Amino acid sequence: MKMKHLRPGAALVALASALSQTPNPPPAPAQESSDTPVLRVTVNLVQVDAVVTDSKGKQVTNLTAGDFELLQDGKPQKITKFSYISTAAPTPAPAAPKPPVPGRATPPPPAVKLRPSQVRRTIAMVVDDLGLSFESTAQVRGALKKFVEEQMQPGDLVAIVRTGAGMGALQQFTSDKRQLYAAIDRVKFNMMGRSGVSAFAPINDSDDGSSAGLDDFRDEYFARGSLGAINYVVGGLKEMPGRKAVILLSDSIRLFNQEGLNDRILESVRQLTDLANRASVVIYSIDPRGLPTLSLTAADNVRGGNPLALSGHMQRRHAEYFESQDGLNYLAQETGGLFIHDTNDISGGIRSVLDDQRGYYLIGYTPDDTTFQQLKGKDRPYHKIKVRVKPAGLMVRSRTGFFGVPDQQARPAYRTREEQMFAALGSPFGGGGVRLRMTALFATNAQKGSFVQSMLHIDGHDLTFTDEPDGFKKAVVDVLLVTFGDNGTVIDQTSQTFTMRGKADTYKLAMQRGFVHTVNHVVKKPGAYQLRAAVRDSVSQKIGSATQFIEVPDVSKGRLTLSGIVMRASRPPDPPQQPGAAAGPPSTEAQQEPRRQQAEADSMGTPALRIFHPGRKVEYALQILNAQEDHATKQVQLESQLFLFRDGQQVYAGKPNPFNAAKTPDGKSVMTAGQLQLGSKMEPGEYAMQIVITDKLAKERYRTVAQSIDFEIVK
C-alpha cells in the first residue's frame, strides 16, 4: 500500500468541499451458539439457564443431564434438552508495544464495530443515580472507568445507563470506549434522588419520627422510577441474542416500609424479574456503600441524648441498612445472578460478575397442560422453578420462575409505522430487513457553524417496487433519523416518507447504486451524540437500522480539531481523443466488460458506501480546524500520518508526511486531501483508516489529534 499527500487542487476541491455541502447522490427514481434463547416458555418447551460452581466459586463445565434435577412447582420434570454454552472469548495475543515518537502523542486505534456473530457478552451497567449517595457516586465512577480501561474485552457490547437519564439512554450499547467514557463523565450525584450526601442519614435526637411517612413516600416514588428504568433496559435487551447481564449499582431498593411489606414495590420487582427471565437477562446487583461500620459518625447529633434513645437509633440504623438491600438481593436471586455487598472493592465485584459470564447450562423440559391455564377471575399463575445439582460440594444458580404466559403472547406487537420504526432504533446492530449504511461527518463553516451531515445509503434490492400503468416502477420508503444527546433524550428527529418513481433505465441504475438521503443537523452545543436511523419499506414493512457515535468538539476553545473524513474511489481520467478522429466501430462485449467493472466500482466507492476492490486508488479529504499559524510566513506547519486497521489491529502505517499550507480565506481552517493506493492482495473484510495530524506550532498537550472512518474491501 502507498499513501501520498496531495494539495487540494482542482481534481480534489470538489471532494474536500463535500464536507460543507450536500454530496451529489447517485441517480435514483424520482421522488447452538450463544444465540440460543435462554429462558424459552412455550407450550412445548420451558428452557432455563444455570451456572454451577465449586466450593471456591469456580465454574464447573463438564456435567451431564444426569447430574441435574429440575422441578416446577415442586414436581420433578423430565429433562428433554441439555447443553453447555461457552461465552468466554479466546485470550488475544499481546500486541507488540510501539516505540513512542518524540513530541507526538499516540492516539488510540479506531473502535471496532461488532457484528452480531462477534458479540461474546452483552452488559448493561445500570447506575441507579436516583438511589446513590454522593459518596457512592464517586466510588461508582472510579469503578466504571476501571472496567472500561482494564476489564472490558474484545466482543463486549456495553451500555452505561443512568436510571434518572430518560428513555433514550437505552440507545447507548456500543463497543466504542470513547462513547463509554463520555457516558461515565455524565454519572454525577443526582440531588433529586432518594439518597443524601452520605449513605446514612445523621442521627438527630430532636427528630420525633413525624417525617417517617414522608420518607417512605419519597423512597417508594424514586424506587419505582428506578425499577421502571431497569424495566425499560431489560425490555430492550429482549431483542438481542444470547444471555445478557444487567449490573445494577444502587445503594438501596426497599421492599418494606414503616407499615411492613410494600406490595406495590414487590409487584414491580416481580414483574421485572419475569421480564428479565423471558429476555434472557441475568441481574447482578452491587451495593457500592462498601463495608460500613454502622456506628456513630461525626455527623450524628447525640448531645444530651439518653442511652436508651441512642441504642434505639443504632438498632434502627442496622435494620434500615439490611432492609435497604432486600430488593437488590431479590432481583439477583430471582434471575440467577449475584448480589455483591459489604465490600469496598467495587471493581472486584464487577470482575466476579464477568467471571460468572463465562458460560452456562441450558436445561429444558416439556410442561404439562395446566402450566398455562388461567382460572376465571384470577391472575396468571406464577410457576416456581428449582434446579438442583446432584454431585456433592457443588452449588447451582438459576432463574426461579415465570408467569404462565407463552412467549408468543408475552411478546409486544408493534402495529403502527411509528412503533415499528422506534423498535428498530433499539437494535445496536445495523442492517436488518433493509440494508442501510449511515455515514455521519462533523464539519463547520462560516454560514452554518458546527453541523453534522448524515448520509443514508439504502440498498434498492430490499425495497418493494410496484408496476404502474404508465411503465413506471414505484416504491414508498419511510425514513426516521433520531439524534440522542448526552442525557439520553432526543435532541433532533427527522421523519419523512419518500415516493420513488422511475422508468426502466432509472430503476436499473437505482438497483445497481442504491440511493442516498442526506440530512444536515446544525449542532449548537458541543458534546457526544448518538445518531440512529431506521428505514421501512411501506409495502413489505421490512425495516433496516444503522447507528453511529459522533463527537462534536468545542471549536471555540481554539484547540486543534479535525472534521469527518470524506472517502471515495479515485476516478481515472478519460482517455484523450485525437482531434478530428473518426468514430471507431462499436466496442465488443469483451471490450465493454472492463467498463462495466469500472462503473460498478465507482458506484460502490462513494462517500456514503465506501466499498472498494483491492488495488484501487482511494481519495480522501478532511478539514483541519484551529491550526496554529506562523506569524512570519502566515502558514501552518502540520504533519500527517495514515494508519489502516482491521479488527482493531494495525495492518499498515504510513510515514509522517510534513506539509505547509495557507488557511482558507476565512482564516478558520486548512483543507487537506490525499490518495491511498490499496494493495492488490488485501484480504476482503472491514477496515478503518485513521488520519493523525500533528501541529508543530501548538502546545504539546494539544499538538496531536486523530480522525478515522471505516470502509470495506471486497473481491
Same domain, 438 and 534: yes
pLDDT at 60: 94
Q: Which residues contact 376 (CB under 8 A, 6 or more apart)?
A: none
- The full 3-state SS of 293-326, as one line of letters, equals CCCCCCCCECCCCCHHHHHHHHHHHHHHHHHCCH
Same domain, 530 and 389: no
Digit-coded pLDDT (tens) for 606-663:
999 999 999 999 999 999 999 998 888 888 999 999 999 998 889 999 999 898 777 7
Digit-coded pLDDT (tens) for 337-380:
999 999 999 999 999 999 888 889 999 998 887 787 776 766 67
Tell me which residue has cell 428527529.
Answer: 493
Same domain, 134 and 77: no
The answer as to whether 422 is a domain residue is yes
Percent of the chain at pLDDT > 70 equals 76
pLDDT at 536: 92
Report yes or no: 465 and 474 within 8 Å, Cβ to Cβ: yes
pLDDT at 52: 95
The answer as to whether 315 is a domain residue is yes
pLDDT average, residue stretch 507-530: 82
What does the mean pLDDT of the chain come to? 79
Strand ordering across the sheet containing 515-522: 436-445, 449-458, 515-522
Residue 589 has pLDDT above 60, yes or no: no
- Classify 248 in phi/psi space as left (phi over 0), alpha (psi -120 to 50) or beta: beta
Residue 687 has pLDDT above 80, yes or no: yes
Q: What is the DSSP string of 216-267?
A: HHHHHHHHHHHHHHHHHHHHHHTTSSS-EEEEEE-S---SEETTEE-HHHHH
Q: How far apart are the first and last CA of the chain?
A: 17
The answer as to whether 25 is a domain residue is no
The answer as to whether 602 is a domain residue is yes
- Strand, coil or helix: 395: strand
Q: What is the dihedral of CA 117, 121, 122, 124, to 10 degrees?
A: -160
The answer as to whether 334 is a domain residue is yes
pLDDT average, residue stretch 448-452: 83
Same domain, 216 and 350: yes
Same domain, 128 and 270: yes
- Quickly count helices (H) and strands (E) in the chain: 12, 36
CATH number at residue 462: 2.60.40.2360
Digit-coded pLDDT (tens) for 55-64:
988 899 999 9
Percent of the chain at pLDDT > 90 equals 29
Residue 604 has pLDDT above 90, yes or no: no
pLDDT at 451: 86
Residue 596 has pLDDT above 60, yes or no: no
Domain count, the chain: 4
Cα separation, 131 vs 249, in Å, equals 9
CATH number at residue 333: 3.40.50.410
Residue 523 has pLDDT above 90, yes or no: no
In the DSSP assignment, the letter for residue 198 is S
Report yes or no: 679 and 618 within 8 Å, Cβ to Cβ: no
pLDDT average, residue stretch 559-568: 93
Tell me phi and psi for residue 438, to 5 degrees.
Answer: -125, 135
Same domain, 600 and 540: no
Residue 271 has pLDDT above 80, yes or no: yes
Same domain, 421 and 376: no
Lowest mean pLDDT among 297-301, 580-584, 665-669: 580-584
Same domain, 176 and 238: yes
Cα separation, 251 vs 290, in Å, equals 10
pTM for the whole thing? 0.70
Domain range for 506: 413-557
The answer as to whether 344 is a domain residue is yes
Same domain, 501 and 391: no
The answer as to whether 299 is a domain residue is no
Residue 31 has pLDDT above 50, yes or no: no
Report yes or no: 203 and 301 within 8 Å, Cβ to Cβ: yes
Digit-coded pLDDT (tens) for 121-155:
889 999 998 888 888 999 999 999 999 999 998 88
CATH number at residue 603: 2.60.40.3880
Residue 573 CB burial class (10 angstroms; 0-12, 13-18, ≥19): exposed
The answer as to whether 34 is a domain residue is no
Same domain, 711 and 601: yes
Residue 69 has pLDDT above 50, yes or no: yes
Helix (H) or strand (E) holding 480: strand 473-484
Same domain, 417 and 467: yes
Lowest mean pLDDT among 28-37, 274-283, 300-309: 28-37
Residue 68 CB burial class (10 angstroms; 0-12, 13-18, ≥19): buried
**Residue 195: which pLDDT band, with cuts at 50, 70 and 90?**
low
Same domain, 607 and 708: yes
pLDDT at 409: 52
Cβ neighbours of 293 (radius 10 Å): 6
Q: Where are the alpha helices (DSSP H) in 401-543?
A: 407-410, 417-425, 504-513
Listed residue (686, 713, 688, 709) closest to 549, CA to CA: 709
